[in-house]
Structure 1
């Protein structure tokens, strides 16, 4: 049993209890109902209760519920969370990495040394990580820390880092001695650079990094140390905590490669105090264009012939306020390419981010003449999903397309635009605005859309025939009602709440074979764009970290402003924190009948508080009629047909919109025959 010498109690959630016991979360929920001796909650809420770790472990041992295969770090992690805040636990994770790697810490003294509880937790963690498990122990703790604070920290996915390195290597084929990341975060880009160029070089590549968050800087140092990418004397590493734009710790240093995923949409980045900064060679960045300040900062750091690859929001390519700086970058020949990535490549996952590739002029560059063309690549519309890897964007296809175009191959989805053609009033560098859509593609879309429209129309006629024959009953006899809460207590159904999602593993785009859809809110019936691979879902269901539906489960989005109900026929589905699932006992309840009653507007109005737009519907207060199972099934079949009717209407609307778009494309190109 863990010892807690501090005053803060160590608490665990149901999901953490499931990990400790090596079972699914549903098993823990069953234990709470079946065993009166199960520990009572000590905190949290009704939907997310918290329990004393010491009491839980004592109960698990008493009832022989602990599995030998459970990861001991799962039992230790709640103590990290009990330290109180993000920074304290993050510093301790970093100290674990530094101790395991044998590299001395730099910067301010580590807080763990002056706190008995943290020092004891540090020693126990190091003891668990004996031998070859040192690296996996640190990365386990780092991954859990990042997942816990996913809304506060933006990370660069490893596959994006690999693409950025390959792009940089194409523009800088010679040896790389120095790499800079001025917004290093937890060090993903620096670690990738160290693995690539540190192995190829006879001497370790020098890694420079800075971040405004001291905890992330400490974690970066630990990460590089654990991965064996820095020398024992730290001679190839320079990390600093501080505001890079206001106080550059590496001012005057000239580097071969800059890799950076800078913060975006920041208003307080130093616009006024940096008004006369010498880095603004191509124009003072407006207050609303902090990303262009980072672009010019990276250019100032490049040695002759150096290359910078930056991850930027797509709005940077087109915002009116930044057009003067974009034009000057084009005239100078520094901006070589803009790559539009598919949505899901990096946080924020719903946006297709851009890569900007900038090159400083080399000492021997031919004639020192600026480039006359800009390469634009759009991977969002030309990525085949057939070979996509599970749990992520189709990175092989994206990488092949990008590296092929930048190597000189002519590939669909790319274009080289003369700089003079871009220097208009907008200076819009968005790839999709310049890559033409072919007539062949439009005609294919048109034929497919008409075929889909005819199919939808036929299905709509069929379901309309059965529903139009229904007439309301003439009697107004009152029907006895029963609430969902009463059904739960009677064992007729089980309520399962959604949980936080592993955002770094969620893939955006079209569904691939074996993937499960991910739902995060209403509407539940619309097109799904989020997916998780089968292995991730299976592991999450086993350890209780994900809420996964089974066939005929009823999914509920319980926000008052967006209440929705759906019988899940596309299982498994993974539910986010705004959702819940009802799993019924089929011998007592028909799921289609239950779903139809739950979504009735009058029923929802009775169960909601409607105090604000964020109010939630109390699912347990929803009511349904007391009917026999036979009657339930008859009503359930009617509700199923209603959902088919609604689905066909949605599909027809979407197909009609696609038809209109294709026709307008052909019309605008003068490619429609006369009527």
Structure 2
């Protein structure tokens, strides 16, 4: 039967390796054989065509099918993998057209209608809210095991609910952030090894009495101008450039340097990234979240999301808005604190009296 269709091209194809054809072909039993059959199937669909292949459940994450998974991802032919339709096998959807990086990994949980809706939305736009939680980048799954297990639902993030509760306040200026499946990450240490990031630390004692403006740890924490002066020619002295990121690990602070030639005082670590690889505001936001949550975190172990420069700039803009919101709240809290103190003192000293409440 295979000979009857060999050489023909179709708009779609479905091959069930469980049947093994009329010639009892068992090549699907091995990853190498499966890869050979997949290549054969792809030669018989048009550039816009698709091939659907039911494969054993173990092929998603099993060691024997690791090479097959790697070949499909690197070749950019895997479009979707749907689990939960059958107890023994999963549905793999392949395409021979233009190579793509987005792959739909969906746990159907037995709901065929849901699969159809998600697939149609994915074909129209992988970023659509319906398929987006189930879309991964192929490159992010090319780890040691090349595991294609569908992503688990994103853990509920409190940000949207907290934002909704604050929206009734005057001009809250809250950035809108949508839950997503976390992208792949690379550690800061790996970026340092690749010479994309340099880490420098000021010495425990910095020579005073020079004429170079110098940040103290408190200056960095408060986001203010340098308050001291030091000797930039002293051994081990670290001078910041605009775009560097100053970090106070124990205090959970990471700030982008805006000035040139500022000397760093003790206790400050400085990260200098290749701006074509890492946006400074993006890096500062990632570092702040890491050191704020863990306190004594090892900077070299901090995971940095793998995002394109354009995506980093979008994230950086959100980090900046959050930082501005925080600064505004701190100013408001300080004014409110002064108000409360003045009220207590005025009432206690008899300089204030309760007025009638407005009706």
With normalisation by structure 1, the TM-score equals 0.25
Q: TM-score under structure 2 normalisation?
A: 0.44
**Whose strand proportion is higher, 1 or 2?**
2
